[in-house]
Structure 1
Amino acid sequence: MSAPWPVQGAAVAAPLKYLAGYPPELLSQVRAAIAAGRLGPALAQRYPERHEVRSERALYDYVSAIKSEFLRQAEPLAKVAWDPKLHVIRNALGTHTAVSRVQGGKLKAKREIRIAALFKEAPAAFLRMIVVHELAHLRQREHDRAFYALCCHMEPAYHQLEFDLRAWLTLRELAPDEAARPA
């Protein structure tokens, strides 16, 4: 009996853009799991918890709680928002920006974090991972060793979550019905 979520062979053979840079052996395992219909259920079993962060106010409170736990001395956040166009337009899942304004004789920078709206439907662990990533940019601009050390300090399973998030995004692109399936 075939799986209720067919995945075309050509789609599974397509480049896995979210997983670029990972070893070919790992990519072949991901392709095999997608083709067999095992990746969606595995991710749903590993990350069954959904979050309740739906509004911009709830997102601001969620991000502020993590920031106050790990980055108390960092500059305050002026805005935290869901961005429905972020993933499509900028090919990013979250952004951290500093909006500069002249106030009197001084230049003031207000920090903003925008999170792709697709995380409203993502497992709670994936939302936490992307928030940790964007908060780490408050201290470290570049994706270097210090940046990833800070991410791992805030979320010890950061690297596993990043890989699983990339697998989930790949699944959403190649087999959207399987990615949306609850546990």
Structure 2
Amino acid sequence: MTTLRYLNGYPTELIARVQQLSDRGQLATWVEKKYPGQHSIQDDKSLYQYVGGLKQRYLKNAPALSKVMFDNKQNPVKGTLGTNTFVSRVQGGKLKSNNEIRIATLFRDGPEEFLKMIVVHELAHLKEKDHNKAFYQLCCHMEPDYHQLEFDMRIWLNFRDLK
């Protein structure tokens, strides 16, 4: 029996069902059937364009992004799959602000649905800094299946650990 560390906090009956799939050796089949293939967003430039498109569609009035990139320092074991950084600096008599989004490099090789879910999460932080009700409503506005995708992504992370 393996530990499904990315599912902590979920109801025990859900964890038990995933554990059964894992114990029977069917977790890989389930993940690959539900999320076949890989996306074509493989570099920082295409990631920036992808994020920019989602931002333009859903958050036109949100602050501009200065940088979007894949980051190999983001690690699910440490609890970070992506980060949104806001930095303000005084330059001369002006206040300059930069918004950066960094996405864990492991999402280069994952399904596009999981990449979109992480991007939506980080974009929502442009409007809502805390993980509150308004934050999750905004996530669900941009991606209606947000909560299911987050759960499935956690299963996928466990699957990756087992490989």
TM-score range, shorter chain: over 0.9
SS at match of 1:85: coil
* Structure 1 Cα separation of the partners of residues 139 and 79 of structure 2: 21
The answer to whether 1:118 aligns with 2:87 is no
TM superposition shift of 1:103:
1.4
Larger CA deviation: 90-99 vs 112-121: 90-99
Compute the TM-score of the two structures, normalised by the length of structure 2: 0.95
| Cα distance between partner residues in 1 of 2:37 and 2:96 | 39
Q: Distance in 1 between matches of 2:19 and 2:65?
A: 40
Distance 1:88 1:46, change over 3 A: closer
| 1:19-168 aligned within 5 A | 19-87=7-75, 90-168=78-156
Shift of 1:88: 6.2
> Which protein shows a greater Rg?
1
Larger RCO, structure (CA 8 Å, separation 6 or more): 1
> Residue deviations 1:112-136, cap 9 Å, x none?
0000000000101000000000000
Partner of 2:97: helix, strand, or coil?
strand
C-alpha deviations, 1:53-106, integer Å up to 9, x for none? Answer: 011000000000000000000000000010011116853000000122211123
Q: Which runs of 4+ in 1 moved over 3 A?
A: none
Name the CA shift for 1:160/1:89 in 2 (closer, same or farther; >3 Å): closer
Identity score, percent: 50
Structure 1 residue identity aligned to 2:123: L
The TM-score normalised by the length of structure 1 is 0.85
Equivalenced residue count is 163
Q: What do you get for the CA RMSD once the two structures are aligned?
A: 1.3
